[in-house]
Amino acid sequence: MFLGWQLRGFNLISWTYLLGLILVVLIVWAITKVFKRLFLFVLNSIVGLLALFGFNQIFSTEINITIWTIIITGVGGIPGFILVLILHFFGL
């Protein structure tokens, strides 16, 4: 007796569930990758902002804290912070 489409022991409904499960796993994986990168960017931005603020307070410099300095320290982390310091001391 033939009960629907048979393909090596799986019927069509089993294949549909399997493909749906694979699709859900791929979507969850992609979302976690995006949120991980976003979290690291926010964390680097906060650390860079605190480092700039602390550097201004300790050494009495006037490094402007703008959206660009936050983005540079957020993307670059500690090397980005050092880049902002170098650019400030060269007057750029």
- What are the residue ranges spanned by the domains of the chain? 6-89
For residue 82, what pLDDT band results from cuts at 50, 70 and 90? very high
Compute the distance between CA of residue 4 and CA of residue 72 in angstroms, rounded to an integer: 59
34-65 tens-digit pLDDT? 999 999 888 988 888 899 999 999 988 888 88
CA 81/CA 48 separation, integer angstroms: 6
- The values of phi and psi at residue 2, to 5°, are -100, 120
Query: What pTM was computed for the model?
Result: 0.67
- Distance in angstroms (rounded) separating the CA atoms of residues 84 and 62: 12
The amino acid present at 92, given as its one-letter code, is L
